Structure formats: C-alpha cells, structure tokens
Amino acid sequence: MAKGKGGGLPDKALFALAGFVYLFLYAPIAVLIFFSFNAERSTQVWSGFSMRWYGELIRDQSILDAFYNSLIVGVSATLVSTIIGTFAAMGLARHRFRGKTAADSTIYAATVMPEIVVGVSLLAFFVTVQFQLGLTTIIIAHVAFCISFVTIVVRARLAGMDRSVEEAAAYLGANPATTFLRVTLPIILPGVMAGGLLAFTLSFDDFVITFFTAGVGSSTLPLKIYSMIKFGVSPIINALSTVILVVTVILIVGGSRILAGRKE
C-alpha cells in the first residue's frame, strides 16, 4: 500500500494498464486519420502525404447528399425528441398519476430494446398505414428512438434540482410558464443540452433503424458508407471519418466551454 501511495510498482502498473486501454481505443482512429492523407489508394502502405482524398470527398455529390440527409434527420429528430423528452421528464419527475409505473418501465425498456426490433416494428407500422418511406419516416423513427434517452438524462438533472427556487418564483407571482422559462429551464439546461447531444449522436450515426425506414433517395451517411464498404474500403471514407471526428471534437470542446462559462 505504501508503494502505491508513493508512486511505486502498483501506480506504474495502473498507469501502464490505462495507457494500454487508451491505445486500444484510439489507435485505430489514429491509423484512419493517418491514411486519410495517403497519396495512393492503398489503406495499408504509406506512399506520401496528400490532400487528394479530401478533394475527392468534396467532389463526390452522392456523399454530400447523404451527409445533407443525415444532417436534416439528425437536427430534426434532436429538436423534436429534446422538446418531447424534456416535458416527459418534467411530467414523470414532478407529478403522480395513474400508470406512472408503466410509463417509467416503457421509457427504460425503449433504451435496451434491440434496434432491429424497433426498425422492423416501425417498418411494419409504416407499411400498414401506407406511409411512403423517406426522410419523414426516418425522422419519425429516430424521434421515437431518442425520446427515451433524452427523458432519462433530463430527469436525472431534475432529480438534483432544488425545487425551492421554483416555489420562490411562484410566491413572487410568476405563473407556471414564466417559472419554467425563467427559472427551471436555465437550471436544467445542461441536462437538456446533454440529452440533445446524445439524441443527435444516436440519430446521426444510426444504421439499423434507418435501414428499415429509409425509402428511395433518402440514403443517409451510414447507409452510404455501408454501400461503399461493400466494394472495398476507400480512402474517401477515411477522409470523411476524419472530418466528422474533427467537427465532433470542436462541438464537444465548444459545448464544454459554454457550460463552464455558465457555471462561472
């Protein structure tokens, strides 16, 4: 135990284990980024630095269309699921009503249900009601899938909130709508933002549910990448993945700075 506190062998072993875990997680990503700058098509042999594949990516209209579709679906599903999930969390956290236990169970069950079950059931529903498959059906499917995740995240934030501030606002004459907009929402905003980011991530990179609910001309980025991989791994995929990774990191860092600024 003394060696552990003083930086002996146990600490070194723990540090080495942590390094191995991080290497295991991020080495494939590093290799992907590295070969996105490869001059030749090979994804195994380095032949020189080049931005060729980023140029090919910009000129590939089918990929740009798929990215645009994914962006439409992701933003739309995030907005709708965040609004519905936030109010669902408010209702479940603040009110008692008949069937609350069943509603709770349904929310948590939706997060562990296999996506293939969700995809097949939604496809059967759309076919039954004769709803034409397209971007609209993908958005509806993603909203149904993401609501539960947003609800759970926002509800966790509500559980740690001091309700006395809401009571003080009501005592000072604020109506329920004003109390929610001026008091409750600013306090739970980090939870709402976290739920929204989670919903966007789940929606943007979803493949299984999208595969079953997409129609002709509504291919999203995951579907497009899957169709490209069937004919061999192209360096364009490496370039595309690198761009998405960089944008994701920027959004995470930006969101963290915004939240840190609010706390200060």
Predicted pLDDT at 2: 46
pLDDT in tens, 77-115: 999 999 999 999 988 888 777 877 888 888 888 888 888
92 and 203 in a single domain? The answer is yes
248 and 160 in a single domain? The answer is no
Predicted pLDDT at 5: 53
71 and 97 in a single domain? The answer is yes
The answer to whether the CB of 30 falls within 8 A of the CB of 242 is no
- Residue 225 is assigned to a structural domain of this protein: no
- Residue 8 is assigned to a structural domain of this protein: no
The answer to whether the CB of 200 falls within 8 A of the CB of 78 is yes
Predicted pLDDT at 81: 95
User: For every one of its 264 residues, what pLDDT tens digit does the chain have, with 9 covering 90 and above?
Assistant: 445 555 455 778 888 888 889 899 888 888 888 888 888 777 677 788 888 888 888 888 888 889 899 999 999 999 999 999 999 998 888 877 787 788 888 888 888 888 899 999 999 999 999 999 999 999 999 999 999 999 999 998 888 887 788 888 888 888 888 888 888 888 888 889 889 988 998 999 899 999 999 988 888 988 988 887 777 667 888 888 888 888 888 877 876 776 666 555
168 and 52 in a single domain? The answer is no
- Residue 133 is assigned to a structural domain of this protein: yes
Give pTM, 2 decimals.
0.81
Tell me phi and psi for residue 48, to 5 degrees: 130, 155
49 and 138 in a single domain? The answer is no
Using a 10 angstrom Cβ sphere, with 0-12 exposed, 13-18 middle and 19 or more buried, the burial of residue 203 is buried
pLDDT in tens, 144-179: 999 999 999 999 888 888 778 888 888 888 888 888
Predicted pLDDT at 262: 58
- Residue 70 is assigned to a structural domain of this protein: yes
How far apart CA 256 and CA 193 sit, in angstroms, is 11
DSSP conformational letter for 129: T
71 and 49 in a single domain? The answer is no
185 and 250 in a single domain? The answer is no
Predicted pLDDT at 1: 46
53 and 82 in a single domain? The answer is no
Strand partners, 38: 49
Give the domain range for residue 131.
61-220
- Residue 197 is assigned to a structural domain of this protein: yes
239 and 155 in a single domain? The answer is no
- Residue 22 is assigned to a structural domain of this protein: no
193 and 215 in a single domain? The answer is yes
Structurally, how many domains does the chain consist of? 2
For residue 119, what is the domain's CATH number?
Answer: 1.10.3720.10
152 and 69 in a single domain? The answer is yes
48 and 66 in a single domain? The answer is no
